[in-house]
């Protein structure tokens, strides 16, 4: 017999099923302003200070249309002056805005790293892995890419605890496309003592939008399509769904989301 109950404490939902305790972190998506500057990050002076992924959305002032031939991307940039990571648009920031996904872990200490790799040519692929740090305790929470020309996209894979990576795919006649994997390790908590990673994540995919089940929070969102047709990818700030839009109405990109919770 399975017994499930929920407790609402602060900004985290505790789900208790038999002897398993699961915590659902609270996250927000920040929609940038195309004329306020090209860098976007999580505010370290608020509870939502951890950057778990980067998305990109057309600016309200963008001349770009869903069926246009332009592509852009969003990379991840380290701001050494403020000791923080930021989302950086690969193309014109007047046309596209980064969408950082910022999460509150309610007192947990979180270690964040980013892996990167690149690929070029015609429909070639490369894996960007969190295992590149030599530590299996990092969980994949986001995939994104940086290129302002042609690409097919990027998608996550979480096969087991030791295999989590992003697959980056170049497009037709692509120049260099850079892929980024966001990797998190929940290392300790004010309320619990445990040295191993507590994040429990899985992937969801399908026609846009895609969503997580009720016990998980959407951490990452990306998309892929074999005809250079991915235009934007982001987590909706109102409902937490992963939204992927195409640039060509003839082709429909597949949306790929990463859903996570803290689990004991």
CB 128 within 8 A of CB 145: no
3-state secondary structure of 224: strand
pLDDT value for 8: 43
pLDDT value for 88: 80
CA–CA separation, 263 and 143 (whole Å) = 22
pLDDT value for 32: 65
pLDDT value for 144: 93
Residues 6+ apart with CB under 8 A from 205: 155, 254, 255, 256, 257
pLDDT value for 175: 77
All domains of the chain in start order, with CATH = 27-263 (2.60.120.690)
pLDDT value for 243: 96
What is the per-residue pLDDT across 208-232, written as a single tens digit (0 to 9) for each? 999 999 999 999 999 998 877 788 8
DSSP H or E run through 135? none
pLDDT means over runs of 10, the chain (264 residues): 42 54 89 57 85 86 54 75 77 72 87 89 89 76 83 88 84 81 78 69 96 96 85 93 85 93 85
Partners of residue 58 on adjacent β-strands: 96
Distances (CA, A) of 233 to 75, 85, 105, 145: 13, 19, 24, 11
pLDDT value for 222: 96
Q: What is the DSSP letter of 210?
A: B
CB 255 within 8 A of CB 233: yes
pLDDT value for 85: 80
Residue 42 in tokens: 């999580």
Taking the model in full, what pTM does it have? 0.86
CB 210 within 8 A of CB 204: yes
């Amino acid at each position: 017999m399975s017994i499930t109950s929920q407790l609402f404490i602060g900004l985290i939902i505790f789900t208790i099923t038999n002897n398993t305790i699961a915590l659902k972190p609270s996250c927000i998506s920040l929609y940038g302003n195309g004329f306020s500057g090209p860098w976007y990050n999580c505010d370290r002076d608020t509870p939502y200070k951890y950057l778990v992924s980067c998305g990109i959305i057309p600016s309200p002032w963008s001349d770009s249309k869903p069926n246009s031939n332009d592509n852009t991307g969003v990379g991840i940039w380290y701001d050494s002056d403020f000791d923080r990571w930021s989302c950086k648009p690969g193309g014109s920031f007047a046309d596209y805005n980064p969408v950082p996904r910022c999460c509150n872990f309610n007192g947990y200490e979180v270690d964040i790293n980013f892996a990167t790799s690149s690929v070029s040519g015609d429909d070639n692929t490369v894996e960007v892995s969190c295992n590149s740090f030599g530590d299996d305790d990092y969980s994949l929470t986001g995939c994104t890419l940086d290129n302002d020309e042609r690409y097919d996209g990027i998608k996550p894979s979480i096969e087991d605890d030791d295999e989590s990576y992003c697959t980056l795919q170049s497009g037709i006649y692509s120049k260099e496309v850079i892929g980024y994997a966001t990797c998190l390790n929940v290392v300790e908590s004010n309320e619990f003592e445990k040295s191993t990673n507590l994040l429990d994540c899985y992937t969801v995919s399908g026609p846009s939008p895609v969503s997580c089940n009720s016990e998980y929070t959407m951490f990452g969102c990306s998309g892929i399509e074999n005809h250079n047709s991915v235009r934007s990818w982001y987590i909706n700030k109102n409902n937490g769904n992963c939204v992927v839009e195409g640039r060509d109405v003839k082709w429909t990109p597949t949306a790929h989301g990463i859903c996570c919770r803290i689990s004991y």
